[in-house]
């Protein structure tokens, strides 16, 4: 098995102006960034082209969402082909905010993942449990059912980076302990082994999202089944560089 390349994604969410993006590009250029880490930033759709022109070329740019059709009467949506047309090759799908604020279902997210892959994008599917689900001991049941919903539409696992995000730890300042996060990541890898293949289980990167900061990243990165991070607010600040360099 080749070693899984560490992956750090930044999800800017609904933040950013051209001048703020210039500032982010500046600290990313300054770095220095660990050359053994794949870095991707997820920006608002109106700034996809500007971000692709502005951030260093060795950093990927992701859309934060896209629809399951190539074109048509879907006001306010964007298609995978549009993302590619701007020179971007990634999309984040199924983020907890898309699920919990905008009501996207497991089925819709799965269909979006399938269409994005068929159109040649690389996909970061997000999934994770809410606080009540964790407290009632249902973490495994919830995350396995979310994965099971995606699986029929994942045609090429080499273009998928799974992002496990415990919803109770996003933007709350609560972080799963490195041991709690590792436990779920190990269960997810076992699920891939049991339901997809040994090869996919060994090669697929499973990244952690949930209030990752410069202070918490090193210990999380040392866990054997945590292959990187999906970072929210901290990706807008210079501390993002320290998170990218968590393995150094």
User: For 66, what's the count of Cα atoms within 13 Å in the CB-facing half-sphere?
Assistant: 33
The residue to which tokens 């892959």 are assigned: 117
Burial grade of 107 (CB within 10 A; 0-12, 13-18, 19 or more): exposed
Distance CA 123, CA 185 (A): 18
Identify whether the C-beta of residue 6 lies closer than 8 Å to the C-beta of residue 221. yes
Can you tell me whether residue 224 is helix, strand or coil? coil
The 3-state DSSP composition of the chain as helix, strand, coil percent (nearest 5) reads 45, 15, 40
Q: Annotated catalytic, 165?
A: yes
Distance CA 191, CA 88 (A): 31
The residue to which tokens 């866990």 are assigned: 223
Q: Annotated catalytic, 185?
A: no
Distance CA 1, CA 113 (A): 26
Of the candidates 97, 165, 185, 239, the residue annotated as catalytic is 165
Of the candidates 89, 95, 97, 111, the residue annotated as catalytic is 95
For 56, the token pair is: 């260093």
- HEC letters along 122-139: EEEEEECCCHHHHHCCCH
The residue to which tokens 């998928």 are assigned: 160
Identify whether the C-beta of residue 203 lies closer than 8 Å to the C-beta of residue 158. yes
Catalytic site positions: 95, 165
């Amino acid at each position: 098995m080749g070693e899984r390349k560490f992956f750090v994604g930044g999800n800017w969410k609904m933040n950013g102006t051209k001048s703020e993006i210039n500032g982010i590009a500046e600290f990313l250029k300054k770095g220095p960034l660990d050359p053994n880490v794949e870095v991707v930033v997820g920006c608002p759709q109106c700034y996809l082209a500007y971000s692709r022109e502005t951030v260093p070329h060795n950093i990927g740019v992701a859309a934060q969402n896209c629809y399951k059709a190539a074109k048509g009467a879907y006001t306010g949506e964007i298609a995978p082909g549009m993302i590619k047309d701007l020179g971007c090759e990634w999309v984040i799908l199924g983020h907890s905010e898309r699920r919990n604020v905008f009501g996207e279902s497991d089925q819709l997210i799965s269909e979006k993942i399938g269409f994005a892959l068929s159109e040649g994008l690389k996909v970061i599917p997000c999934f994770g449990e809410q606080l009540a689900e964790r407290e009632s001991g249902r973490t495994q049941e919830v995350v396995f059912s979310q994965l099971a919903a995606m699986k029929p539409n994942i045609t090429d696992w080499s273009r998928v980076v799974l992002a496990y995000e415990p919803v109770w730890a996003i933007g709350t300042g609560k972080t799963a302990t490195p041991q709690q996060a590792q436990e779920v990541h190990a269960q997810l890898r076992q699920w891939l082994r049991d339901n997809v293949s040994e090869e996919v289980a060994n090669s697929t990167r499973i990244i952690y999202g949930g209030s990752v900061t410069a202070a918490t990243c090193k210990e999380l990165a040392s866990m054997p089944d945590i292959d990187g991070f999906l970072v929210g607010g901290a990706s807008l600040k210079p501390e993002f560089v320290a998170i990218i360099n968590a393995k150094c």
